[in-house]
A = this chain, B = another copy of it.
C-alpha cells in the first residue's frame, strides 16, 4: 500500500510500520488516528517515546531497565536481596512482579543460550550473575527461564556454575495451570505434574491452618 500523495503521512506510516508486529495497514490506521487526535496527545506520546531512550537506564545490579542507576526493586530495603530470580527479559520480570508473590530481587539475563540464533553465554549477563553470587550472601537462585530447549540449556549452564556455591537452586513449578481442564493439557506437562506431585497439605496449607 503506497501513500505517495503525502510525504508527511507516508513518512509517519513508514516509521510506525518499523515497529514489530505492526503492518502498513495498521500503521496507516494509527497515523490517521493521530492526525485526528489533540495536538497535546500526540506531543505527549512523542515525548514519552523519546524519554525511553534519553532517560531510561539499566540497573547496575539486576540489569533491568530502570529510571535510576539502581532500580526500585534492588533499592527497596523490604526486598530480600539474597533470593535472586533469574529471568530472560524484563517482560517476564514484570509478569512475575504482577503476581505479587515474590519478595526477592531479579537478574535479567537478556535472553537464553541459543546456538541456532548465535547467542552464546558471553552475550548474556551470566558472568554478572556469577559475580553477584560470589560477592553477596545469596541464599537461593530461582531459575524462571522459558520452558524450552534453550531455557533448559541455560538452566543447566547456570546450575553447573552455581551448584555448591549457594544453598539452594530452584525452578518454577511446572504443572496443571489454575483453571485448566486436564483433557486439554499436553502430555508432557501432565506427565510431569504427576511425577512432581505435591502433598495435599502443601497445596492447601493456608486453608488447613
A interface residues with partner B (beta carbon < 8 Å): 1-3, 5-9, 11-12, 14-16, 18-22, 26, 28-35, 37, 39, 41-56, 64-67, 71-73, 89-91, 94-95, 97-98
Contact = CB atoms under 8 A, between A and B. Distances in A.
Interface centre among A5, A7, A49 (most CB of B within 10 A): A5
Contacts of A50: 42-43, 46
B56 A6 contact: yes
Contacts of A54: 39
Given A3-B94, A66-B6, A67-B7, A35 B12 contact: no
Q: Copies per complex?
A: 2
A9 B65 CA distance: 9
B6 A71 contact: yes
Contacts of A49: 12, 15-16, 34, 42, 45-46, 49
B72 A53 contact: no
Given A5-B73, A5-B97, 18 more contacts: A1-B95, A2-B97, A8-B56, A12-B52, A15-B48, A15-B49, A16-B48, A19-B30, A19-B34, A19-B45, A20-B29, A20-B33, A32-B65, A32-B90, A34-B49, A39-B53, A39-B54, A43-B53
Contacts of A30: 19-22
B29 A16 contact: no
A33 B9 contact: no
Contacts of A71: 5-6
A45 to B, nearest CB: 4
A34 to B, nearest CB: 5
